[in-house]
Structure 1
Amino acid sequence: MTGRILLIEDDETFRSFVQTILEDEGYEVVLACDGREGARRLAKESFDLVISDLKMPGKGGLELFRETRQDPSPPQFIFLTAYGTVDEAVAAMKEGAVDFLTKPLVAPEALLTLVTRVIESQWRTRELLSLKESESAGLPPEELVFAGQAMAKVRQLVLDVAGTTANVLIYGESGTGKELIARIIHLLSQRSKAGFVPLNCAAIPENLLESELFGHEKGAFTGAIQARQGKFELARGGTIFLDEIGEMPLALQAKLLRVLQERVFERVGGSKEIRAEVRVIAATNRNLQVEVAERRFREDLYYRLNVFPLHLPPLRERVDAIPLLVDYFLDRFGRQIGKKLKGVEAEALTALKGYAWPGNVRELQNAMERAVILAQGMVRCANLPEAILNRSVPESRDSREALKDVERELIVKALERQRGNRRLAAEELGISKRALQYKLKEYGLLDD
């Protein structure tokens, strides 16, 4: 358990004593010799907890505590007090202080128990906040995630990197399970007790993305009626997952680079430095080396993120995994809607194995959910989407070319359905508008 604590105490001997107790337990302790210095620290930095003497020359702990109550996310306070000021400490608790301990500190264990309770409570709160913003329905079994021979190397790399603090950059086409792999790395890491906070960089409008990442102060921009924590604050102690990192605007890339280098950031409209005690896992379906060469992605940020690259193979390279995935989705969706099916007929399974799967596992999941709804007794070819039946390709055919044909046709059909509206077409396809623009250029569709 780690945490950042501001210790404010004017008695040097007692200050050193408490510092030793806390640091021996692994806490990071920042010292202040009086209330004024404590106020300066709190104005510039963020802390999980403040432990302060109640009575000090100049500015006392109680005065400082009351000043901080005006902050959008005020720190928790534990007071150290002499017997003569216990009444004031009790009054502070009624105003929101966590607790108080009397001096001299006879039992250091009492302080450690109290500190641990506060820090653990804050971690749980952050985790709950991050879970509320996540639509994850849980992880499938490990043997399913890493099904197929092509995933054996990925599994070993995940096990190798999970226990480290290294930044990870996950490459893979849309639908290959990049967020799933990021969650597994988090759960296998020493940060697993803290939150996993995902953010899709392509899903947030450019003018709001900085606020989503770093939070904002009240009045920072039109509509900012109250202060708000960003994803980096919610993920403190845990992992932040930045999906579609290649879509991040260049100006914001520079700010992210600073976070990775200096481990600090400020909220939009704020000046207080907040420590970024998080692990960063990023993901992209783009070739970032090409993006760097074409000056759409910062080279220095690329090298900061690309410490440990992980490449996820597309589903067309994991054909041996399709029967396992099909059985899993058949059981999952069958239980969800209360339908018991016998299985998938051989001809339908052959069609599923022969399809190029431009949407990868996500597309297979959607196809199986539809098939379970339509099937009676057993999933048959008639229950599968027409695209799968029409575009299943013989093994002798070049799968890359087949994929391009399928992808081009999907884009054309989506644009037709949306009457040429690229934003709506991108939403239907589950990609960003910038990604769609890139594909239109690649397939020579910009003039069509």
Structure 2
Amino acid sequence: MTTPSAHILVIDDEPDLCTLYELTLLREGYRVLTANDLAQAHSQLQQHQFDVVICDMRLPDGSGIELLQQLRTQGRSERCIVITAYGSAENAVESLKAGAFDYLSKPVDLKEFRTTVAAAVRMQNGQQASTMPLKPATDLPNTLEKMAGHSPAIQVVKERIRKVAPSMAPILIHGESGTGKELVARAIHANSHRRNGPWVAVNCSAIPENLLEAEFFGVKKGAFTGAAQDRQGFFQTAHGGTLFLDEIGDLPVAMQAKLLRAIQERRVRPLGSSQEEIVDVRIISASHKDLGLMVQTGDFRQDLYYRLNVIDIQMPALRERREDIPVLCKTLLERIAQEAGASVIPQLHPAALQYLCNLPLQGNVRELENLLHRAVALAGENAAVIDVERDENETSGNERTGHAGAMADSHASQALADSDDLPSDLQAYLDALERQILIRALDESRFNRTLAAQKLGISLRQIRYRMDRLQIPIPANSVDSA
């Protein structure tokens, strides 16, 4: 829906293009003024207040970057769209860093032109309607309210999210595994003007290399054997919203080149199609790897790196914000209890909380959550107070308490002894071990979950919760399948 009262300034030194842009915008109901160089543009800006400024990157008396910088210095509120030379990724990145709302590549596609301008107008009107900061979308999961913690380190992250969310600039999130990089990406989406659009999260390391192009760009019917119908890729699914590329460093170099072109040109060609499709997505990527180092070793394309790393956010490791551990434990326990359907939200014994605060926690928040999951399970259903110090005794080999704890530790120790190396992913290792134990107990009880739960010393509710979390299917003819 356009806003007829929106006032737009178009700056381009080519009269034909300037007229084309003007006529296109007038048909959309906007009020439009034009300028052919920076001098005329400054004159117009002194006389009028605009909603959106559309500026060519190269002008006879300067560049669009200079205008962007001057507008920012003057504290003006206009949203700026920069038009760059065809395929000029460096100019696009430079303009976004200078504060541009978005950029368009020549030759400009008029449909994309109208869409981009409409988005800028909507964003500008949303800010002018109120002097308050952009309010997070509280109906979406994992927004800023879900980011537990008050440490200086996490406050820096939250403030950066608030600043960069309204922009269209690509964002690269750095951080160790388990720090909450996807949580940051979701918060950016939920605080952006795209919050009502699609959110598509992709784990780049989980897609087989031979399926990458089809998954990202889509497939046309008959493109290959088995392609019985058209199927959209990640880019088409995320049209109008945000595409989150997690573990971007795991993409093969060949796919990196195709991804770069899709991001630069905002077009994708599905497999088996002769035509490209325009896509309007905001790219947020994340990696626990050092992409800068990968560029130096040749494992990651330099042009793609600079295209993705327009704005960077560093997610701190948990050991760098230990003061957040108490509130994180409280938040995680509330979620664990809710997911398990428990009537009581357990609390940590003070000694247990102190123990967690002193742990190295190399797996960060994910490791902390796993420890709390185990503590809740070992404490039994509806326990009001839980203690994780028993886990310390189990892992150190000291005296153990409880037959169930001893059995669990014995199986885990034997499984580890059978392997030459320590697990590289503790969470995945423990999940696989737990899944194996559950499947064995269920097989022995012919999938009678009540009996299997009794064998393992847990409740029926707990075994149902664990089966659901670990995605253990239930045979149709199983006993107690309700």
TM-score bracket for the superposition, by shorter chain length: 0.5 to 0.7
Q: Does residue 320 of the first structure (1) align with residue 323 of the second (2)?
A: yes
Distance 2:278 2:300 in 1: 25
2:384 maps to what in 1?
A: 377
Aligned pair count reads 295
Note closer, same or farther for the CA distance 1:213–1:427 as it changes in structure 2 (3 Å cut): farther
2:192 is aligned, of 189, 193, 196, to 189
The answer to whether the 8 Å contact 2:345/2:384 transfers is yes
Q: Does residue 250 of the first structure (1) align with residue 257 of the second (2)?
A: no
2:429 maps to what in 1?
A: 428
2:160 maps to what in 1?
A: 157
Q: Does residue 240 of the first structure (1) align with residue 240 of the second (2)?
A: no
Give the alignment's TM-score, normalised by structure 2.
0.54
Deviation per CA, 1:202-248, whole angstroms, max 9, x where unpaired? 01111111111111112323332222100100111111000000000
2:232 maps to what in 1?
A: 229
Q: Quick one: which amino acid aligns to residue 371 of structure 1?
A: A
The answer to whether the 8 Å contact 1:316/1:356 transfers is yes
The answer to whether the 8 Å contact 2:148/2:324 transfers is no
Structural mapping, 1:263-412, within 5 Å: 263-336=266-339, 337-340=341-344, 343-375=347-379, 376-382=383-389, 384=391
Q: Secondary structure at the match of 1:326?
A: helix
Distance 1:263 1:167 in 2: 13
2:171 is aligned, of 164, 168, 172, to 168
2:120 maps to what in 1?
A: none
Q: How many Å apart are 1:413 and its aligned residue? A: 9.5
Deviation per CA, 1:140-183, whole angstroms, max 9, x where unpaired? 76274453221121111111100111000000111111111101
Q: Quick one: which amino acid aligns to residue 197 of structure 1?
A: V
Distance 1:317 1:180 in 2: 18
Structural mapping, 1:64-213, within 5 Å: 138-139=141-142, 142=145, 144-213=147-216
Note closer, same or farther for the CA distance 1:318–1:254 as it changes in structure 2 (3 Å cut): same
Report sequence identity in percent.
Answer: 41
Q: How many Å apart are 1:316 and its aligned residue? A: 1.1
Q: How many Å apart are 1:19 and its aligned residue? A: 8.5
The answer to whether the 8 Å contact 1:355/1:388 transfers is no
1:82 maps to what in 2?
A: none
Q: Quick one: which amino acid aligns to residue 147 of structure 1?
A: H
The answer to whether the 8 Å contact 1:370/1:383 transfers is no
Distance 1:280 1:413 in 2: 45
Q: Quick one: which amino acid aligns to residue 379 of structure 1?
A: I
Distance 2:365 2:415 in 1: 20
Note closer, same or farther for the CA distance 1:18–1:302 as it changes in structure 2 (3 Å cut): closer
Note closer, same or farther for the CA distance 1:291–1:234 as it changes in structure 2 (3 Å cut): same
Note closer, same or farther for the CA distance 1:269–1:383 as it changes in structure 2 (3 Å cut): farther
Q: Secondary structure at the match of 1:233?
A: helix
Higher relative contact order (CA 8 A, sep 6+): 1
Q: Secondary structure at the match of 2:371?
A: helix
Q: Secondary structure at the match of 1:237?
A: coil
Q: Secondary structure at the match of 1:208?
A: helix
Distance 1:356 1:282 in 2: 27
Q: Secondary structure at the match of 2:385?
A: coil
Distance 1:379 1:426 in 2: 21
Q: Secondary structure at the match of 2:386?
A: coil
Distance 1:173 1:197 in 2: 22
Distance 1:416 1:161 in 2: 48
Moved more, 415-424 or 356-365: 415-424
Note closer, same or farther for the CA distance 1:222–1:429 as it changes in structure 2 (3 Å cut): farther
Deviation per CA, 1:60-113, whole angstroms, max 9, x where unpaired? xxxxxxxxxxxxxxxxxxxxxxxxxxxxxxxxxxxxxxxxxxxxxxxxxxxxxx
The answer to whether the 8 Å contact 1:351/1:389 transfers is no
Note closer, same or farther for the CA distance 1:252–1:335 as it changes in structure 2 (3 Å cut): closer
Note closer, same or farther for the CA distance 1:378–1:279 as it changes in structure 2 (3 Å cut): same
2:264 maps to what in 1?
A: 261
Note closer, same or farther for the CA distance 1:286–1:414 as it changes in structure 2 (3 Å cut): farther
Note closer, same or farther for the CA distance 1:248–1:191 as it changes in structure 2 (3 Å cut): same
The answer to whether the 8 Å contact 2:219/2:231 transfers is yes
Q: Secondary structure at the match of 1:304?
A: helix
Deviation per CA, 1:241-273, whole angstroms, max 9, x where unpaired? 000000001001001111122111101222211
Q: How many Å apart are 1:373 and its aligned residue? A: 2.4
The answer to whether the 8 Å contact 2:148/2:331 transfers is no
Q: Quick one: which amino acid aligns to residue 218 of structure 1?
A: K
Q: How many Å apart are 1:286 and its aligned residue? A: 0.2
Note closer, same or farther for the CA distance 1:145–1:271 as it changes in structure 2 (3 Å cut): farther
Moved more, 16-25 or 256-265: 16-25
Q: How many Å apart are 1:388 and its aligned residue? A: 7.3
Note closer, same or farther for the CA distance 1:322–1:371 as it changes in structure 2 (3 Å cut): same
Q: Which runs of 5+ in 1 are unaligned?
A: 3-15, 27-44, 49-135, 391-411, 431-448
Distance 1:373 1:290 in 2: 41
Q: Secondary structure at the match of 2:206?
A: coil
Q: Secondary structure at the match of 1:202?
A: helix
Q: Quick one: which amino acid aligns to residue 184 of structure 1?
A: A
